[in-house]
C-alpha cells in the first residue's frame, strides 16, 4: 500500500510520518502531482492558518489534483479545514469538498482560544473510520477555528459549542484533532483510515 503525505508546509508532518511508521507504513512526503494521484491513500496534514495553507497548495499546482482524487483522502487539523468550502480565517476560499464554513471559536471567560488540550469524542454516525471508537474517548486538539456539526460529521466534540471532530463525504475524510498525538485512540483511527 502506498501512502503519501502532501507537502503543504504543515509543521506536524514529521510527527504524522512517525505515527504512520509505528503502524508499519512509510509514507512519502511529496508535492508531486503524479505521486499524489497514484497513491493508495493521501493525507493532507497541516498546522497554521487557512490562507497560507491554500496559497501553498495553489503555488504547488495541487488544488485541482486534490479535488479530483478518488482514493481515500484524510485531512488532519488545518488539512481537514482546507477540505471545506471556506474559512473565516482570512476570509479564505478552500477546496470545496465538504459543504461547510469554518468558524472561529468565540472567546469566553471560561474558554481560552485556541482550544488546546485533550477533549472527548462523541460518535454520531456509523462509519469504518470510527471502528472501535467509544463514546468519551479522548483526543488531543490545538485549534482556534472549527467546522460546525453537519450531515458530514461522524464524531463531534464540545468546546462551549459542539463542533466536528471527524468528518467524511465520499472519499474525503478529516480529523480536527491530532491523531499522531492522541495516543491509542489516534493510532486506532489512523489504522482505520489505512484500512479504508
Q: What is the pLDDT of residues 134-143, one digit of tens each?
A: 999 999 999 9
CA dihedral 48, 51, 57, 60 (to 10 degrees): -110
pLDDT at 62: 97
Distance, in Å, from the CA atom of 25 to the CA atom of 106, rounded to the nearest integer, reads 39
Q: What is the pLDDT of residues 42-61, one digit of tens each?
A: 999 987 899 999 999 999 99
How sure is the predictor about 10, in pLDDT bands with cuts at 50, 70 and 90?
low
**Per-residue DSSP letter, 62:** -
Residues in CB range of 11: below 8 A, 6 or more apart: 47, 48
pLDDT above 70 for 11: no
pLDDT above 90 for 8: no
Q: Is 132 left (phi over 0), alpha (psi -120 to 50) or beta?
A: left
The pTM of this model reads 0.96
Strand partners, 6: 30
pLDDT at 47: 77
State yes or no: cis peptide before 33, omega within 30 of 0: no
Residues in CB range of 97: below 8 A, 6 or more apart: 66, 67, 83, 84, 169, 170, 172
Q: Which CATH number fits domain 3-194: 3.40.50.12780, 3.40.50.880, 3.40.50.1820, 3.50.50.60?
A: 3.40.50.880
Tell me the catalytic residues. 77, 178, 180
Distance, in Å, from the CA atom of 24 to the CA atom of 47, rounded to the nearest integer, reads 24
Q: What is the pLDDT of residues 88-135, one digit of tens each?
A: 999 999 999 999 999 999 989 989 999 999 999 999 999 999 999 999
pLDDT at 176: 98
Please state whether beta strands 172-175 and 73-76 pair in parallel, antiparallel, or not at all (unpaired).
Answer: parallel
Where do the structural domains in the chain lie, given as residue ranges? Answer: 3-194
Amino acid at each position: 500500500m502506498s501512502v503519501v503525505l502532501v507537502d503543504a508546509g504543515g509543521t506536524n508532518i514529521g510527527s504524522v510520518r512517525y505515527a504512520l511508521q509505528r503502524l508499519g507504513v512509510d509514507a512519502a512526503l511529496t508535492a508531486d502531482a503524479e505521486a499524489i494521484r497514484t497513491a493508495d491513500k493521501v493525507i493532507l496534514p497541516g498546522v497554521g492558518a487557512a490562507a497560507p495553507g491554500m496559497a501553498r497548495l495553489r503555488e504547488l499546482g495541487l488544488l485541482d489534483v486534490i479535488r479530483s482524487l478518488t482514493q481515500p483522502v484524510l485531512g488532519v487539523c488545518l488539512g481537514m479545514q482546507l477540505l471545506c468550502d471556506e474559512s473565516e480565517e482570512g476570509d479564505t476560499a478552500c477546496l470545496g469538498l465538504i459543504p461547510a464554513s469554518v468558524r472561529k471559536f468565540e472567546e469566553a471567560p471560561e474558554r481560552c482560544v485556541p482550544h488546546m488540550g485533550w477533549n472527548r469524542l462523541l460518535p454520531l454516525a456509523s462509519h469504518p473510520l470510527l471502528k472501535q471508537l467509544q463514546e468519551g474517548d479522548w483526543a488531543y486538539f490545538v485549534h482556534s477555528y472549527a467546522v460546525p456539526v453537519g450531515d458530514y460529521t461522524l464524531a463531534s466534540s464540545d468546546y462551549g459549542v459542539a463542533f466536528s471532530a471527524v468528518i467524511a463525504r465520499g472519499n474525503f475524510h478529516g480529523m480536527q484533532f491530532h491523531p499522531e498525538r492522541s495516543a491509542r485512540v489516534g493510532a486506532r483511527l489512523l489504522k482505520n483510515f489505512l484500512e479504508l
